[in-house]
Structure 1
Amino acid sequence: MTSVIEVRNLSKRYKDKLALDNVSLSIEKDTIYGLLGRNGAGKTTLMSILTAQNFATSGQALVFGENPYENSRVLSRICFVRESQKYPDDATPTHALRAARLFFDNWDQKLAERLIDDFQLPLKTTIKKLSRGQLSAVGVIIGLASRAEITFFDEPYLGLDAVARQIFYDRLLEDYAQHPRTIILSSHLIDEVSNLIEKVIVIDRGRILLDEDTDAVRGRASTIVGDAAKVEAWAAGREIIHREALGRVASVTVLGHLTDADKAGLAAADLDLASVSLQQLIVRLTQNAMQAASAESITTAAEEVR
């Protein structure tokens, strides 16, 4: 596959906070990515650097093989829908959409009009008087109708109810099938977007925790439930990312694809096997990384005391 974004050893520091820590990744052409992670993990910082709205402290970020800063050849092919997008006080959705239509060469006015109707967006109300959901709808419409070669959606669903979010997902998939492009979707609603994304990137504390095909991630972890002694015996030597116990019953979540022999062993030991959703896996991996980082900090502090 052809890469449209190449990031190498990218770091960003804000005074005493390291927002991005030696990040390296490739973003492929005509693929839907999920950029996932907790608040403050570094997702927005990364997208801001890639769209030339922020500067890296060190490292390199190339978009279409070029530095995006003050580069009209690159920026005219990118759309960045920010969660905190600002508009002039007297601007209406009509003004915002007309401006977008002038900027994006692939703009589809018919799609924009269809989305306006789908989201029931009041075009003549000033944007500062729109609800949180209506403001999000403005960004979603621009992002989809722009048909930019690379489109970033930073938490695009905020304020949208379940019906409106489903409209967004449906229209995104429908238009992507007809007009493929690269889409990077930053979201906290992992299970909702898990069927949309083809590749998943998880960022935590400014570091890449996971960067894989979504299909490869599914089945990467399993939860084993049953008699505590049997569970612990079966899990011995495996990488455990979560453990729970209640009386004589225990459950462990282990990394690694299970073989037929593994499954036969579970059945013979009368242990239950449960799948782990993408959201559960990411939550457990993030928690595990946090615990490891905390343990490392404690060890470092102890060594400094010595």
Structure 2
Amino acid sequence: MTPTLSLDTVTHRYGDTLALDDVSLTLSNPGIHGLLGRNGSGKTTLMSLVAGLRKASRGAITLDGQPVYENFAATSQICIIRESGDTTSEWTETINDGLTLARDMRPYWDDAYANRLLDRFQLSKKHKVNALSRGQRAKFACLLGLAARAPLTMFDESYLGMDAPTRYDFYDALLEDFMAHPRLILVSSHHIEEIAKLFEEVIIIEDGRVMLHESADALRGRGLTLTGPAAAVDAIAAGANVLSEKTLGSTKMVALYDVAPDLEERARAAGLETALLPIQDIFVHLTAKRGKD
């Protein structure tokens, strides 16, 4: 059964630095959900608090009503794989050592699936963990996250270091295993264009606050591009929320957000080309408005 994750007015500080500011969020639907934000937005802090790795300065974080901090009943349901990989410790000299440790610590661990992933990701149990390349370390970390089969699984940029073909193989494995074993999966990524097609829900966080939380389909439907003769584009886009525009000769393209329900129909009637704005473009435009780097 998919657990319900709830954050209630969660605030967290590192000294004088405010990392999360009054965040309230509930996730209860099984799915691969995207946590998006620019560097320093608070994504990693949020995931660390949810995993019970540290205690929030203020507010409550619960999994099925149980507090996650210092609560084994809750944290045993959670697996977080961070950018660092979390693949080395004094007990994991080899990949086989890491698999043995995971088998002992993860109540939902699937050993047969882990072995299949070793072949898929071209890893050997005999490999020394400290000798792995960055890409190999990322593959091993993602293997641990997938095979853990935790009801709440989080990947925090854990596939950085993988080349593009390997990342796509990971996305395929993630989707395949989710379809076979539905659960709550939260993914933080800067490769939004690559992985957005998997998202069921999208959370955008900026300056430590939740800017947006809605279904991926609804978010895609809120952005639209119009392309055609400049005068016709300007006429249809008049009064709309224009995110960007480009002009080449007499042809113009505009990206719009929160468009009126009938705008696309009117645009097509005027002979304009229309297309849904990708989630990555919506994210970039929304978070760029405040001058982030």
Tell me whether 17-26 or 39-48 shows the greater mean CA deviation.
17-26
1:20-77 CA distance string (max 9 Å, x none): 1221110114222111122221111000001111222222211221211111101111
Q: What is the deviation of 1:247? A: 5.8
- Give the 3 Å change call, closer, same or farther, for CA 124–257 of structure 1 in structure 2: same
1:158-204 CA distance string (max 9 Å, x none): 12223322222222222222221111111111121122121111112
- 2:187 corresponds in structure 1 to 185
What amino acid maps onto 2:203 in structure 1? Answer: I
Tell me whether 277-286 or 41-50 shows the greater mean CA deviation.
277-286
Cα distance in 1 between the residues matched to 2:3 and 2:119: 35
Cα distance in 2 between the residues matched to 1:29 and 1:274: 28
Alignment of 1:252-291 (within 5 A): 252-257=254-259, 259-260=261-262, 262-267=263-268, 269-288=270-289, 290-291=290-291
On the 8 A contact 2:142/2:158 being kept in 1, the answer is: yes
Cα distance in 1 between the residues matched to 2:153 and 2:246: 40
On the 8 A contact 2:2/2:183 being kept in 1, the answer is: no
What amino acid maps onto 1:153 in structure 2? Answer: F
Q: What is the deviation of 1:231? A: 3.2
Q: What is the deviation of 1:156? A: 2.3
Alignment of 1:117-196 (within 5 A): 117-196=119-198
Query: Is 1:53–2:53 an aligned residue pair?
Result: yes
Q: What is the deviation of 1:78? A: 0.8
Structure 2: segments with no counterpart, 5+ residues: none
What amino acid maps onto 2:79 in structure 1? Answer: C
- 2:240 corresponds in structure 1 to 238
- 2:200 corresponds in structure 1 to 198
Query: Which of residues 87, 93, 96 in structure 1 aligns to 2:95?
Result: 93
Tell me the secondary structure at the aligned position of residue 67 of structure 2: coil
Tell me whether 36-45 or 251-260 shows the greater mean CA deviation.
251-260
On the 8 A contact 1:227/1:250 being kept in 2, the answer is: yes
Work out the number of aligned pairs and report it.
Answer: 291
Tell me the secondary structure at the aligned position of residue 45 of structure 2: helix
- 2:26 corresponds in structure 1 to 26
Query: Is 1:70–2:104 an aligned residue pair?
Result: no
- 1:110 corresponds in structure 2 to 112
On the 8 A contact 1:3/1:26 being kept in 2, the answer is: no
What amino acid maps onto 1:276 in structure 2? Answer: L
- Give the 3 Å change call, closer, same or farther, for CA 123–213 of structure 1 in structure 2: same
Q: What is the deviation of 1:269? A: 4.3
Cα distance in 2 between the residues matched to 1:226 and 1:250: 6
TM-score by length of structure 1 reads 0.86
Tell me whether 95-104 or 229-238 shows the greater mean CA deviation.
229-238
Cα distance in 2 between the residues matched to 1:270 and 1:16: 55
TM-score by length of structure 2 reads 0.90
Q: What is the deviation of 1:227? A: 4.2
Cα distance in 2 between the residues matched to 1:2 and 1:91: 34
What is the aligned-residue identity percentage? 43
Cα distance in 1 between the residues matched to 2:106 and 2:173: 19
Tell me the secondary structure at the aligned position of residue 199 of structure 2: coil
1:211-247 CA distance string (max 9 Å, x none): 1111111221112234444433432322222234456
Cα RMSD, aligned residues only:
2.4
- 1:300 corresponds in structure 2 to none
